[in-house]
Amino acid sequence: MSLFSFARIKAVALKEFVQMRRDRTTFAMMVGVPIMQLILFGFAINSDPRHLPTALIDRDHSSFSRSIVAAAENSTFMNITYRPATDVEAESLIREGKVSFIFIIPENFGRDLVRGDRPQLLLVADATDPSASSGAVNSMEKIVQSGLSRDLSGSLSGLAPLPPPVDVVLHKRYNPAGLTQYNIIPGLLGIIIAMTMTMITAVAITREKERGTMENLLAMPIKPFEMMVGKVSPYIIIGYVQTAVFIITAELIFTIPMAGSYAMLIGAVSIYIVVNLLIGFLFSSIAKTQMQALQMTFFLLLPQILLSGFLFPFLGMPKWAQYIGEALPATHFMRLMRGIMLKGADSGDLYASFWPLWVIIFVVSIVAMFRYERTLD
């Protein structure tokens, strides 16, 4: 037999192509992952977010205040989406994550401006994500000056030269120093749990299929729900160990503050662990091999990293990307972690992030049990 033969190489290559064609799941992943990366990185990711939701409290209602508000919206950094009546209502909006800024124009602003008293404007920024708020914070003085440029003419032209006629006061809420760790570290636990819990469960159950031990489980008088609970329960302990290590490291090494309740944090982590274990169980009911299970885990993990607000500002993404992100469990867990750790939010503030996780648990459980029942048949 010759040492080298194109015919033998051709035969092996053809065999691999046939096997690849039969393994439709792997082939779909090979095509789908690059397409998804191109779409997400090309259209959804935005490191310079614009049109961020803003709550406006205008207590002056003068022509000067209207000019400043118009300039703020024309800058494209802000969209005035809420006009709360009280400071308490505004604080609730920023604590719940519905707005990125609170813009307050005080009473008698126009009168004090005409007198030359340099009245103050207050911009409160949600600095849990410094990259999202930095654009508006750094440009606010120029925005105010551009808004007043037409009004400060004629008899008021003497107010236009430096120093600026208005004193813009900036409050960076929850992260005054603008440290990136405050944004990344709380969200990192969500990515760690999503990756490990989903992958461990999916691979562990798929491994039993490959080894033939699944047939023994199918022969047992056990219901799909019992099977699912029994499979995911041991890995919940692993999730708690990961959480304990994370909290200790975050506080001792990175000095991340813990403004909220540990009990609420553990509750949020518990729900999120169950969500990802159930997703792993669902993947195992679809995948035929461990490789397919890993591919499915990665296929879900990529959008959870990019579209959840972990690396890039969520409110800065286009609407279609935000709709996809709202369907991902990591998005809601990021809000829970940052809300609890950095903002000290209570259950009322975080209700909008808790209930989607329960919906995901219900839907995934139903689909996973249905898939498992089909396996039994």
- Bridge partners, 55 (sequence order): 82, 102
Tokens found for residue 137: 């914070």
The pLDDT, as a whole number, for residue 365 is 87
The pLDDT, as a whole number, for residue 20 is 65
The pLDDT, as a whole number, for residue 269 is 94
**Phi, psi (5° rounding) for residue 168?**
-90, 115
Name the CATH architecture for the domain at 52-173: 3-Layer(aba) Sandwich (3.40)
The pLDDT, as a whole number, for residue 368 is 82
Q: For the CA atoms of the chain, what is the radius of gyration?
A: 27
Contact between residue 40 and residue 303 where contact means Cβ atoms under 8 Å apart: yes
Instruction: Say yes or no to pLDDT of 31 above 80.
Output: no
Which whole number is the average pLDDT over 301-316? 86
pLDDT 10s digits, 244-258? 998 898 888 888 888
Contacting residues for 330 by C-beta, under 8 A, at least 6 apart: 190, 191, 194, 304, 305, 308, 310
Contacting residues for 204 by C-beta, under 8 A, at least 6 apart: 231, 284
Instruction: Say yes or no to pLDDT of 162 above 70.
Output: no
Q: Is the bond into 161 cis (omega within 30 degrees of 0)?
A: no
Please count the CA atoms within 13 angstroms of the CA of 152 that sit on its side-chain side. 22
The pLDDT, as a whole number, for residue 205 is 78
Q: Please tell me the total number of residues recorded for the chain in this structure.
A: 377
What average pLDDT is seen over the chain?
A: 82
Query: CA torsion sign, 359 to 364 to 367 to 373?
Result: negative
For residue 375, give the nearest of 287, 266, 310, 246 by alpha carbon.
287
Minimum mean pLDDT range among 79-83, 104-108, 219-223: 219-223
Instruction: Say yes or no to pLDDT of 216 above 70.
Output: no
Q: Where along the chain do its domains lie? A: 52-173, 181-376
CA–CA gap between residue 33 and residue 302 (Å, rounded): 9
Q: How confident is the model at residue 150 (pLDDT cuts 50, 70, 90)?
A: confident
Tell me if the pTM is above 0.85.
no
Contact between residue 129 and residue 316 where contact means Cβ atoms under 8 Å apart: no
Contacting residues for 27 by C-beta, under 8 A, at least 6 apart: 20, 21
For residue 133, give the nearest of 176, 168, 164 by alpha carbon.
176
Contacting residues for 94 by C-beta, under 8 A, at least 6 apart: 55, 100, 101, 102, 124, 126, 173
Rounded (5°) CA angle 185-187-190: 125
